[in-house]
Amino acid sequence: MKPVAEQLAYLRKGCVDIIQEDELKAKLERSVRTGKPLRVKVGFDPTAPDLHLGHTVVLRKMKHFQDMGHEVVFLIGDFTGLIGDPSGRNATRPPMTREDIARNAETYKAQVFKILDPRKTVIDFNSRWLGALSSFEIIQLSAKYTVARILERDDFTKRYKGGLPISVHELLYPLYQAYDSVALRCDVEMGGTDQKFNLLVGRDIQREYGQEPQVVVTLPLLEGLDGVEKMSKSLGNYVGITEPPAEMFGKIMSVSDPLMYRYYELLTDETSATIEGWKKEAAAGKLNPRDLKVRLARTVIADFWGAEEADKAAAAFDRVFRDKETPDEMEEKAVRLEGGAKTAPLVQVLADCGVFPSRGEAKRVIQQGGVYLDGKRVEDIGFRIDFGAKPEYVLKVGKKSFFRLVLR
């Protein structure tokens, strides 16, 4: 193992909180002395089938602990997922089925090893111990914390004061997550800043069970492509780690320059000193931010798809956006018209096949000049597409999105 000072310097990068750092130092010193690695836990409730770059912020920090010789537990919350984490919520989450959770959990297992070292990773499921708790044991666990402490949590406080319902099972969520740390005898637990309350409950509950409390490490919530809201599939501002490389490349190239530097900080192993140096060079006109963005996109894609695919994505991007060519690969949208018709209003087609969520949105983008058909801008919101003239069309929306419209 590396010296403690070197480990601490490496592990601090990108963190918001380390509670308490002196405890982490003591645990690292003991680990070096005994040769026993720390056990580092991160829990993921499988609420969606795919991971995005926002999830990888904490995954990368898990990898940093692995680089220092420690063991990480990728904990799939197949039991807590039945409750739904109330963090940041102003309403009770809709329940998930066991089938949904099991299906999503399988996809997580396949995706995390794009970052984590499988030889140093333990994948576990919290139903293994939470599902085995007796009613008596659940009462014992519940007795170790107070409702007043639970209601200190900001999102619960807002809901309570606002007269919004809070279900009893939601109050149990932090206790169940804390019991995960007891069952695994965790040395460190990590999560986003929105998880801070839950992580701190874990420290308290470990003490109640006679264990040394875990160190809590929180990491920033990655902003989505809009640079405002947290990256989220529901908001559509995400980059999925299983998306095709060309699509990932285009999305990353769309981010603002300030957001690009934040992505470098949280999604790559570049040092903070290097990133600050690039900022200064770009501000002085010595470095083109676009070149840095290309480098970022290549780096991120190489992590998930390999360097060769990253090169291909970069070449495809240049071909489309620098050389103004049509991409070789486009998402196909099947168009179905009733009664054997061959023509239809374009706004109807774009809404029906899912390019836009509604006809109104399609009209808005056409009016803004953002829709092109076979390279020509569509300027009339009443334009009718004619599949009698040709069986398919190339649709371009904005500067980056291409689709192939095919009559089925």
pLDDT digits (tens, 9 = 90+) for 34-57: 999 999 999 987 766 678 899 889
Do 4-219 and 245-322 show the same overall fold?
no
In the CATH scheme, what is the code of domain 4-219? 3.40.50.620
What stretches in the chain show pLDDT beneath 50? Answer: 89-92
Instruction: Give the pLDDT of residue 62.
Output: 93
- Second CATH level (architecture) for the domain 245-322: Orthogonal Bundle (1.10)
- State the pLDDT at residue 307: 92
CA 39, 42, 45, 48 torsion: positive or negative? negative
Ramachandran quadrant class, 210 (left: phi over 0; alpha: psi -120 to 50; beta: rest): left
Exposed/middle/buried for residue 119 (C-beta within 10 Å: 0-12, 13-18, 19+): exposed
The helix (H) or strand (E) run that includes residue 301 is: helix 289-305
Residue range 331-407, CATH number: 3.10.290.10
| pLDDT value of position 227 | 85
With CA atoms as reference, report the closest residue to 382 among 342, 348, 336: 348
Identify whether the C-beta of residue 217 lies closer than 8 Å to the C-beta of residue 18: yes
Q: ω into residue 177 within 30 of 0, thus cis?
A: no
Q: Is the peptide bond before 7 cis (omega within 30 degrees of 0)?
A: no
Q: What are phi and psi of 382, to 5 degrees?
A: -95, 5
pLDDT at position 164, please?
80
Task: Give the residue from 76, 61, 72 showing the smallest Cα distance to 11.
Answer: 61
pLDDT in the model for residue 159:
78
Type of residue found at 70: H
- Measured in whole angstroms, the distance separating CA 59 from the mean position of its chain's CA atoms is 10
Query: What is the β-pairing status of strands 384-386 and 343-345?
Result: antiparallel
Q: Which of 186, 188, 176 is nearest to 126 (CA)?
A: 176
Give residue limits of the domains in the chain: 4-219, 245-322, 331-407
Would the CA dihedral through 163, 167, 170, 175 be positive or negative? positive
Residue 91 is predicted with a pLDDT of: 47
- Give the span between the Cα atoms of 40 and 282, in whole angstroms: 38
Position 86 scores a pLDDT of 55
Q: Residue 206 and residue 199: Cα distance in Å, rounded?
A: 11
